[in-house]
């Protein structure tokens, strides 16, 4: 028995963790840095057995965000946020630089892909009821991510500095400025003045590539942390009640997954095994 | 055992070994600092520093000599007496149980000072940064007067499309368009209708519903500006390409989503040249041409009502 061949998964885990084990051995008392444990906890955690491709939409949106971040950083190496040279620098990226059209295209179309994936992910969570107790907080964090993602789109739209970008931003900012009481002031703060001027472009650029991505990364990390802590929920029709609040005394916390504590029997979702019996 | 727990919390209080806690040295130090700064920059600061030093020095001395003068020290919050640790237990971490920590009044003072100074530093750092972010958009937002040409360049009762840079220092990004109509004379003084081309729905550029005579375009370079004038034939009003707002020849809204009449430029005539000043908002215009009665308001943003109950939503406008 002791000489049983390791399974495929064990081999894969060994290979993946090899560099991290190497680091951990040389950085601390073995097993104390939390590096290996943390990565295992994140990557090899338990999930319900009957999850589907719908559950991958969140990871897909995360991938789209990473693509946006990487292509955005590269575009920032060539883009000039100045009213007199912004449009020319965009043309230079698109027409002259090697594969510039591709990277700019990835950033431009990837922006739409990111928002679409956010909505699909949101729809999956909504239709599966996965936003319910104890995951309401993560729904709220997700909504904030959606709002910031759309703001990214709004601020990024001005950067090509062509007629479409200019007038779309004029309309967009004036729309904000019709908000009651503080609207006119909000509009001026967004534009950096009474009208779109030389400061507006740099202001939008700073918000688009520094402020909002920073906030987004923080919120995404919080979102992921909550997913890992609370666990993935089963589909509502699932006989597998894993990851679902159960009646009865709270189970002892398991390593790798914190079971949500049930509030009481009455409020537990009437689906799963019990529902099937009815 | 942690040596802290062996200290009698009441030791040093009421005896002359240690001075009673006092806050006055802070003011004393500020006064000294003011004296040094004042020596360099201004006599007023020097005097203020000297006064502060004297006042706080006196207060400090009064506090410090209180035991000798036989007065009671001001009441301090009594720290909870330290409970002896049960024999056989050991400390489980660097910080022993919360309730067992002996709290000296001085530690409270240090705690408050740390929090207070930390908060003060936070405010000192944050306030200018926030102000720098928010205030510049509201400061120096005006523009110089724009010379758009001689009066003779504007034929009577015809609209001329004039484009110019509102702030030549900002360059092309400040390019604006005005529709200028010479109304002839009203009581011996020339009358002009000068409409801003910014739609009062959401700020798109409204276009002439008529025939721009492109071949008669004149471009004039002034000292700081480049002005283009395109005459028009039979302008029947103005229309916005974005959301379909329509205006008549006086700028009154006739259809679509705009909430008022087109904004106008103030103007003056100096040495026969037409100068454009600031813009103002108009709710509506009665009559036409030189005889029109214009209901004017301070400049409001596009989409904002200037009259009626909806205007109550915008009680204060940012400075322009």
Question: pLDDT tens digits for A25-62?
Answer: 887 666 567 778 888 888 888 888 888 899 999 999 99
Overall residue count recorded for chain A in this entry: 278
**CB atoms B171 and A174 under 8 Å:** no
A187 exposure class (CB count in 10 Å sphere: 0-12, 13-18, 19+): buried
* A191 has a chain B CB within 8 A of its CB: yes
Instruction: Render each residue's pLDDT in chain B as its tens digit; 320 residues.
Output: 444 444 444 444 444 556 667 888 899 999 999 998 998 888 899 999 999 999 999 998 888 887 777 765 555 545 555 555 555 444 444 454 555 555 567 888 888 899 999 999 999 999 999 999 899 888 888 889 999 999 999 999 999 999 999 998 888 899 999 999 999 888 888 999 999 999 999 999 999 998 899 899 999 998 889 999 999 987 899 999 999 999 999 999 999 999 999 999 999 999 999 999 999 999 999 998 888 999 999 999 999 999 999 999 999 888 87
User: Is any Cβ of chain B less than 8 angstroms from the Cβ of A261?
Assistant: no
A174, A183, A184: residue with CB nearest B203:
A174
The number of C-alpha atoms within 13 Å of A153 and in the hemisphere containing its C-beta is 15
CB-based contact A177 B313, cutoff 8 Å: no
Distance from CA of B167 to the nearest CA of A (A): 10
Q: What is the pLDDT of residue A266?
A: 41
The share of chain A scoring above pLDDT 90, in percent, equals 60
Helix H or strand E encompassing B109: helix B105-134
pLDDT (0 to 100) of residue A77? 96
Q: How far apart are CA B146 and CA A182, in angstroms?
A: 31
Q: Are B172 and A196 in contact (CB under 8 A)?
A: no
- The answer to whether B138 and B112 have CB atoms below 8 angstroms apart is no
Q: Which of residues 259-288 of B touch A (CB under 8 A)?
A: none
- Name the residue among A167, A181, A197 with its Cβ closest to that of B204: A167
Give the up-direction half-sphere exposure of residue A91: CA atoms within 13 A in the CB hemisphere. 7
Whether residue B309 lies within 8 A of chain A, CB to CB, comes out as no
Question: Would you state the structure tokens that stand for residue A93, as one six-digit string?
Answer: 């990226």
Indicate the SS3 state at residue B198.
strand
For A53-230, CATH gives 1.20.810.10
Residue A5: per-residue pLDDT: 80
Q: Distance between CA B84 and CA B94 in Å, rounded?
A: 18
Contact criterion met (CB below 8 Å) for B18 and B12 = yes
Residue labelled with tokens 């894993």: A242
Q: State the pLDDT at residue B119.
A: 94
Which uninterrupted H or E stretch holds B57? helix B43-64
Q: Quote ipTM for the complex.
A: 0.74
Q: What are the C-alpha distances in Å from B182 to residues A39, B195, B251? A: 76, 12, 15
CB-nearest to B302 from A83, A84, A174 is: A174
Helix (H) or strand (E) run with residue B284 in it: strand B273-286
List chain A residues with pLDDT less than 50.
1, 256-259, 261-278
């Amino acid at each position: 028995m002791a000489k049983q061949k390791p399974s495929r998964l064990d081999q894969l885990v060994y290979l993946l963790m090899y560099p991290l084990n190497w680091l951990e051995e040389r950085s601390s008392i073995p097993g104390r840095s939390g590096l290996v444990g943390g990565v295992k906890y994140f990557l090899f955690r338990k999930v319900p057995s009957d999850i589907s491709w719908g559950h991958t939409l969140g990871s897909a949106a995360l991938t789209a965000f990473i693509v946006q971040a990487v292509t955005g950083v590269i575009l920032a190496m060539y883009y000039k946020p100045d009213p007199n040279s912004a449009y020319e620098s965009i043309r230079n990226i698109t027409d002259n630089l090697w594969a510039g059209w591709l990277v700019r295209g990835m950033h431009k179309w990837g922006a739409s892909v990111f928002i679409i994936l956010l909505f699909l992910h949101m729809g999956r969570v909504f239709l599966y009821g996965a936003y319910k107790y104890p995951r309401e907080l993560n729904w709220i964090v997700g909504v904030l991510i959606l709002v910031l993602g759309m703001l990214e789109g709004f601020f990024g739209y001005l950067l090509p500095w062509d007629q479409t970008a200019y007038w779309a931003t004029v309309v967009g900012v004036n729309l904000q400025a019709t908000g009651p009481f503080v609207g006119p002031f909000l509009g001026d703060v967004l534009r950096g003045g009474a009208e779109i001027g030389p400061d507006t472009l740099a202001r939008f650029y700073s918000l688009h590539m520094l402020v909002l991505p920073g906030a987004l990364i923080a919120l995404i990390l919080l979102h992921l942390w909550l997913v890992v802590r609370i666990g993935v929920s089963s589909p509502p029709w699932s006989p597998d009640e894993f990851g679902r609040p159960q009646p009865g005394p709270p189970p002892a916390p398991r390593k790798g997954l914190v079971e949500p504590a049930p509030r009481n029997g009455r409020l537990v979702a009437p689906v799963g095994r019990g529902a099937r019996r009815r | 055992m942690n040596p802290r727990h062996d200290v009698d919390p009441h030791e040093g209080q009421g005896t002359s070994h240690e001075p009673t806690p006092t806050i006055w040295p802070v003011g004393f130090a500020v006064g000294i600092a003011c004296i040094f700064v004042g020596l360099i920059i201004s006599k007023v600061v020097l005097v203020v520093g000297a006064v502060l030093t004297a006042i706080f020095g006196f207060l400090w001395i009064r506090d410090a000599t209180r035991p000798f003068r036989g007065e009671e020290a001001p009441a301090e919050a009594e720290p909870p007496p330290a409970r002896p640790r049960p024999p056989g237990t050991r400390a489980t971490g660097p910080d022993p149980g919360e309730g067992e920590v002996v709290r000296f009044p001085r530690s409270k003072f240090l705690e408050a000072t740390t929090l207070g100074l930390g908060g003060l530093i936070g405010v000192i750092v944050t306030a200018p940064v926030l102000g720098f972010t928010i205030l510049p958009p509201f400061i120096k937002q005006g523009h110089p007067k724009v010379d758009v040409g001689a009066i003779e360049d504007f034929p009577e009762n015809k609209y001329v499309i004039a484009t110019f840079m509102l702030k030549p220092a900002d360059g092309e990004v400040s390019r604006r368009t005005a529709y200028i109509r010479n109304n002839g004379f009203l009581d011996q003084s020339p009358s002009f209708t000068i409409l801003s081309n910014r739609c009062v729905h959401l700020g798109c550029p409204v276009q002439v519903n008529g025939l721009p005579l492109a071949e008669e375009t004149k471009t004039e370079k002034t000292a700081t500006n480049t002005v283009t004038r395109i005459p028009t034939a039979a302008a029947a009003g103005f229309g916005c390409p974005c959301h379909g707002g329509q205006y008549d020849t006086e700028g009154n809204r006739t259809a679509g989503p705009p909430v008022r009449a087109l904004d106008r430029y103030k103007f003056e005539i100096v040495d026969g040249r037409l100068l454009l000043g600031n813009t103002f908002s108009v709710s509506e215009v009665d009559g036409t041409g030189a005889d029109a009665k214009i209901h004017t308001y301070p400049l409001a943003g596009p989409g904002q009502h200037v009259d009626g109950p909806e205007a109550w939503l915008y009680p204060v406008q940012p400075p322009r």
